[in-house]
Structure 1
Amino acid sequence: MSERPWKIPESVLVVIHTPALEVLLIRRADAEDFWQSVTGSKDAEEEPLALTAAREVAEETGIDCREGSALACNLCDWQLQNVYEIYPRWRARYAPGVIHNTEHLFGLCVPERMSPRLDPREHTAWRWLPYREAADACFSPSNAEAILLLPKFAQ
């Protein structure tokens, strides 16, 4: 059995929202009180961030915004990033000595609330909330801050 490679400390955060600024939150399977937007790391150093974002959205929700899909033009790179300290409980996924991650922010506008298809190994529940309530429900301060930026980027 081959060893799984270390996670790359560069990731995306994708705020999925409706035109009415309702935000989709998903609950982590490994931390029942952790509600969040779609997040995920690059699979390879050279992977373009938009590809990472579209892949993670598809993997975590079943929503297709990959190139050529109907929603592809609705995936928007906000050209913002956060650098934060990786929570100690998840540091073992990264190479020894890696304690910071760079997170790139994206938004995905969907025409209306939709029911995501979750992988129960990763997420156990979902809900749509008005953006301010969604920000309050997030466990991650950087996720909450991104959601609060939504009115600026949804115009």
Structure 2
Amino acid sequence: MPHKIPESVLVVIHSADLEVLLIERADRPGFWQSVTGSLDALDEPPLQTAARELFEETGIAVDGAHISLHDWHLSNVYEIYPTWRHRYAPGVTRNTEHVFSVCVPRDIPVVLAPREHLRYAWLPLLEAADRCFSSSNAEAILHLPRHYPPRGA
């Protein structure tokens, strides 16, 4: 299996009233997060990665009309957790994460990828941030009010 590219996306899924959808990792029960995922190819644009990962992990499809991704034009660089470093090339210890958000109706059907996630929960903003195991994910959730509604919306 090829090594993961150390560039990824984080997609904060939320409702219009800023409730946040979190998903629990199947490989680490108790670890809650927003949608995340690595680029599949070096030339895959992060926006495309975000749309792909959103659909793969939740079944939520970007349609451009009612559901569209908002690029925060923000990237976090963080240390890759030691437990996941084996997925990357030897010596790779840092990842660049591009942040996006998407506003969806609270009653949208959510279909989890069973090999990746166990369950999901809609949570108030502060509770969602507290539940995230990733500090960059928690920080993005706390900054969500600054990014919604998107400029020009």
How many residue pairs get aligned? The number is 149
**2:127 is the alignment partner of 1:133:** yes
Displacement, 1:33? 1.1
Residue 39 of structure 1 is matched in structure 2 by: 36
**2:5 is the alignment partner of 1:11:** no
Displacement, 1:69? 4.8
In structure 1, stretches of 5+ residues that fail to align are none
Q: Distance in 2 between matches of 1:71 and 1:16?
A: 14
TM-score (norm 2): 0.94
Q: Distance in 1 between matches of 2:72 and 2:107?
A: 22
TM-score (norm 1): 0.92
Displacement, 1:115? 3.4
Residue 152 of structure 1 is matched in structure 2 by: 146
Q: 1:2-151 alignment to 2 at 5 Å?
A: 4-65=1-62, 68-72=63-67, 74-151=68-145
Displacement, 1:109? 0.6
C-alpha distance after superposition, 1:1-27 (max 9, x if no partner): xxx111000000000000100000000
| Residue type at the aligned position of 1:42 | L
Cα RMSD, aligned residues only: 1.1
Find runs of 4+ consecutive structure 1 residues off by over 3 angstroms: 68-72
Displacement, 1:70? 3.9
- Contact persistence 1:113–1:128 (CA under 8 A): no
In structure 2, stretches of 5+ residues that fail to align are none
C-alpha distance after superposition, 1:105-131 (max 9, x if no partner): 000011334231011110001000011
